[in-house]
Amino acid sequence: MANHVLVFAPAPQLTVTVEQPAEAVEIHVHPGGQGVWQARMIIELGPPVVMCAAVGGEIGQVLQALLSAEGIELRAVTREATSGGYVHDRRGGTRTEIADVPGEPLNRHELDELYSLTLAAAMRAQVAVLSGPAEPSMLPADTYRRLAADLGRNGVKVVADLSGDYLSAVLQGQPYLVKASHEELITDGRAKDDSEAELIGALHGLHADGATTVLVSRAGEGALALLDGEAYRVESPRLEVADARGAGDSMTAGVAAVLAQGGDAGTAVRTGAAAGALNVTRHGLGSGRADAVRSLVERVNLKRLDA
């Protein structure tokens, strides 16, 4: 097997952001979406990334060029409908949505092609990251169950960063690691509130439902993890927040990068926490220097919690 990470990103988006940090107005154009932000950080931490996605229309053509420019090897299904994207105005310090094109759900043929493409690419990887689309109706939830089961049976460690029906489905495929936010667990009814006791119960619940290892981010609080059936609090450095968005995706990326390089689950969780902590100090999603992440890992501790 190669040491690359397979990122399943079924529907990447084109992001256009208008900013004015000084007198001049700036326009920034990037590929976006959960899988893209994860791939960006994974590459920064060392492993190459192969991304499997469906793209289409003029937006799809732009996405392919932008993803290639970021060093992401794209294996794409060209679809009939256009890919999605959005335009945000961040002048004045607040984010205002100008336009949002979510994209249309994948049809049966496109989904079949994407599934086959993903299987072929993932079988040559040690780790596969399953990310979700921005639009929940983009593809059937059962796709994630099938992928987790098929890849896991063939020795690929599946890291899933999903919520809602997608999370419930992927658990049935018994992934190696599931990452979720505490807000998602509350919304999904897996925790009543954000108390540590409730979230520890959710950790064990996710494990019982099929996940070998569980990682739950808690915004400004330290993450919680379940490793070898034991619950831990992940104590990370406190850093001033510039933009909290994308911290969870960087956390997932840090985990995947370590696992792809043969690291153990504990080191993967500590690295993920460091990558997430660094991301909040920056405005770019899924960004951060590898040397900064590695220096922060030394300050991340796993504190075992009493049963």
Residue ranges of domains in the chain, CATH in brackets: 5-11+34-58+105-304 (3.40.1190.20)
More confident residue, 51 or 242: 51
Q: Over the Cα atoms of the chain, what is R_g?
A: 18
Q: What is the pLDDT of residue 21?
A: 86
Q: pLDDT at residue 11 above 80?
A: yes
More confident residue, 224 or 235: 224
Q: What is the pLDDT of residue 297?
A: 85
Q: pLDDT at residue 52 above 80?
A: yes
Q: What is the pLDDT of residue 285?
A: 47
Helix, strand, coil percentages (3-state) for the chain, rounded to 5, are 40, 25, 35
Section 274-280 average pLDDT: 77
Report the distance separating Cα 133 and Cα 75, nearest Å: 17
Q: Do the Cβ atoms of 191 and 203 come closer than 8 Å?
A: no
Report the distance separating Cα 198 and Cα 196, nearest Å: 5
Q: What is the pLDDT of residue 280?
A: 52
Long-range Cβ contact pairs of 88-92 (< 8 A, separation 24 or more): 88/15, 88/16, 88/17, 88/18, 89/17, 89/18, 90/17, 90/18, 90/19, 91/18, 91/19, 91/20, 91/25, 92/20
Chain-wide mean pLDDT for the chain? 91
Q: pLDDT at residue 307 above 90?
A: no
Q: Please, where are the H alpha helices in 141-241?
A: 142-153, 164-172, 182-187, 196-208
Q: What is the pLDDT of residue 83?
A: 97
Q: What is the pLDDT of residue 242?
A: 46
Phi, psi angles (nearest 5°) of residue 69: -65, -25
Section 123-151 average pLDDT: 96
Section 51-56 average pLDDT: 98
More confident residue, 286 or 150: 150
Highest mean pLDDT among 16-30, 161-175, 222-236, 273-287: 161-175
Q: What is the pLDDT of residue 298?
A: 86
Q: What is the pTM of this model?
A: 0.92
- Per-residue pLDDT band for 286 (boundaries 50, 70, 90) equals very low
Section 283-304 average pLDDT: 75
Q: What percent of the chain has pLDDT over 90?
A: 80
Q: pLDDT at residue 156 above 90?
A: yes
Q: What is the pLDDT of residue 279?
A: 63
Q: What is the pLDDT of residue 2?
A: 59
Range scoring the smallest mean pLDDT among 76-90, 168-182, 225-239, 275-289: 275-289
Q: Look at strands 230-235 and 221-227 and give their pairing.
A: antiparallel
Cβ neighbors of 58 (< 8 A, separation 6 or more) are 82
Beta bridge partners of residue 225, listed in sequence order:
215, 232
The model's pLDDT over 184-195, given as tens digits with 9 standing for 90+, comes to: 999 999 999 999
CA distances from 226 to 231, 282, 297 (A): 4, 28, 18
Report the distance separating Cα 204 and Cα 194, nearest Å: 15
Q: What is the pLDDT of residue 296?
A: 87
Q: What percent of the chain has pLDDT over 70?
A: 93
Give the distance between the most distant pair of CA atoms in the chain. Answer: 56
